[in-house]
């Protein structure tokens, strides 16, 4: 005994109007089609729900019991479908992003502002964190997706390439390196290097030493955040290396950024999402927007 949704809608329309003609108009069907749906419902239930008269359709006792139940079910379903429609049309939704601190204070605010200009009804929430914490936030469900460098071994996440960038060196204006036509890692080794703590720098130094075994590139100071490294470089305490997307912050600190050569070392950054979990429409929309933004 399973009434169909169309049968229930027909019954609720008839109960609200008390008239077959008006109920058929509300359902956008013919009066005979509406009458047929009511008969099908009664056959399915094995009981009459409406007493027909020449003027009005009166609910039977069973019809009176079913009306509030069917009406609530339809309202709940319509509300859920409307909610889905708002999400898929990007008129509603929340996007939660986990990103490293440096990305969060350079590239991401620009992307979020540009996205919100197109989708003002979407709530975008940025969680700035240490690089090593990005993946943990995605795995825990705290973030819909995360942005971070490649990791080995690969975590149990889906990863799609966002961009690949070469390292650059950053130093104060008037520094000796500013006079050089090109800057190499051998040049960097001559000055105190301020680097970041953790796996990101460890892998970088491994790559440098693999290419330049005779050049000892060792950090003179290791800090947690790139803002600290830039502030120390601005104070004349050394040089630092970072990704080109940090250019706005480099300019803010009054520093100079130059490409690093011999060797040219790069890092790939990925968008990480949980395996087997499709992002919500708003999150998927933002990911696509982000991908297009970094490629322009």
pLDDT of residue 214: 63
Span 242-262, average pLDDT:
94
Burial 46-64 (b: 16+ CB within 10 A, else e): eebbbeeeeeebebeeebe
Q: What is the pLDDT at residue 293? A: 94
Distance CA 118, CA 107 (A): 18
Angle at 80 (CA atoms; ends 79, 81), nearest 5 degrees = 90
Partner residues linked to 288 by β-bridges: none
| Fold match between domain 94-164+269-295 and domain 168-264 | yes
pTM of the model: 0.69
Q: Spelled out in words, what is the top-level CATH class assigned to the domain 5-88?
A: mainly alpha
**What is the three-class DSSP state of 106?**
coil
Q: Stretch 253-282: mean pLDDT, rounded?
A: 90
Q: How far apart are CA 148 and CA 132, in angstroms?
A: 9
Dist. CA 157–CA 277, nearest whole Å:
10
User: What CATH number has the domain spanning 94-164+269-295?
Assistant: 3.40.190.10
Architecture of domain 168-264: 3-Layer(aba) Sandwich (3.40)
Q: pLDDT tens digit string along 1-33?
A: 688 989 999 999 998 898 888 888 888 899 899
Q: Is 239 helix (H, G, I), strand (E, B) or coil?
A: strand
Nearest to 229 by CA among 164, 168, 163: 168
In this structure, are residues 99 and 145 in contact, taking their beta carbons and an 8 Å threshold? no
For residue 87, pLDDT beyond 90: no
What are the residue ranges spanned by the domains of the chain? 5-88, 94-164+269-295, 168-264
């Amino acid at each position: 005994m399973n009434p169909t949704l169309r049968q229930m809608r027909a019954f609720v329309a008839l109960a609200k109007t008390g008239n077959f003609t008006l109920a058929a108009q509300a359902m956008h069907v013919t009066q005979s089609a509406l009458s047929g749906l009511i008969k099908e419902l009664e056959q399915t239930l094995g009981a009459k729900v409406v007493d027909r008269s020449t003027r009005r359709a009166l609910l039977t006792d069973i019809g009176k019991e079913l009306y509030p139940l069917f009406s609530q079910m339809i309202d709940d379903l319509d509300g859920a479908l409307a909610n889905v429609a708002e999400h898929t049309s990007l008129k509603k939704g929340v996007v939660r992003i986990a990103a490293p601190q440096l990305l969060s204070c350079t590239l991401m605010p620009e992307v979020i502002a540009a996205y919100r200009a197109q989708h003002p009804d979407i709530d975008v929430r940025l969680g700035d964190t240490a690089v090593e914490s990005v993946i943990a936030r995605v795995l825990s469900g705290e973030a819909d997706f995360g942005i971070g460098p490649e990791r080995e071994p690969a975590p149990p996440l889906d990863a799609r390439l966002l961009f690949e960038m070469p390292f650059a060196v950053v130093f104060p204006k008037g520094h000796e390196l500013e006079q050089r036509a090109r800057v190499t890692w051998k040049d960097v080794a001559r000055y105190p290097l301020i680097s970041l703590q953790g796996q990101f720098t460890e892998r970088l130094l491994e790559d440098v030493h693999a290419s330049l075994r005779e050049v000892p590139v060792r950090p003179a100071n290791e800090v947690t955040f790139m803002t600290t490294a830039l502030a120390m470089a601005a104070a004349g305490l050394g040089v630092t290396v970072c990704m080109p997307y940090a250019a706005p912050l480099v300019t803010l600190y009054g520093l100079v950024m130059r490409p690093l050569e011999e060797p040219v070392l790069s890092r790939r950054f990925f968008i990480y999402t949980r395996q087997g979990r499709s992002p919500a429409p708003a999150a998927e929309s933002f990911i696509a927007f982000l991908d297009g933004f970094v490629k322009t």
